[in-house]
Amino acid sequence: FLDVADVVDAYVCIIDRRADLPVGAVFNVASGTTVRIGDLLEQLLALSSVEITVHIDPDRLRPTPIPRVVGDATALRAQGWAPRTSLKTTLEQILADCRNRLGT
């Protein structure tokens, strides 16, 4: 998971350095950290100002768990890019935007 501003910064970094990059260079835009969806949900619940009950729909669960998946942005970081916005800050901003749209 990345904040959209960090993704845009990654694209700008690549565009700014395009003249020095080899033809066909490939970059992963990734935080480099693994975040479980359950942990993401826990963070959102902790930021909430109301009590929320979570109900799991077994029909929507994947039949087998996905092993650890993490993007490797080493090549992009070598170009000078790194994410600057924490996941917590991104979630706070998303929640604030939703509250604003709902007028709460």
Summarize pLDDT for 62-74 with one digit per residue, the tens.
Answer: 888 778 889 999 9
Summarize pLDDT for 9-22 with one digit per residue, the tens.
Answer: 999 999 999 999 99
Looking at residue 32, its pLDDT comes to 92
Q: Give, for 74, the enclosing helix (H) or strand (E).
A: helix 74-77
Looking at residue 66, its pLDDT comes to 79
- Alpha-carbon span 41 to 46, nearest angstrom: 9
The pTM score is 0.84
Model confidence at 96: pLDDT above 90:
yes
Query: Look-up: residue for tokens 């949900």?
Result: 41
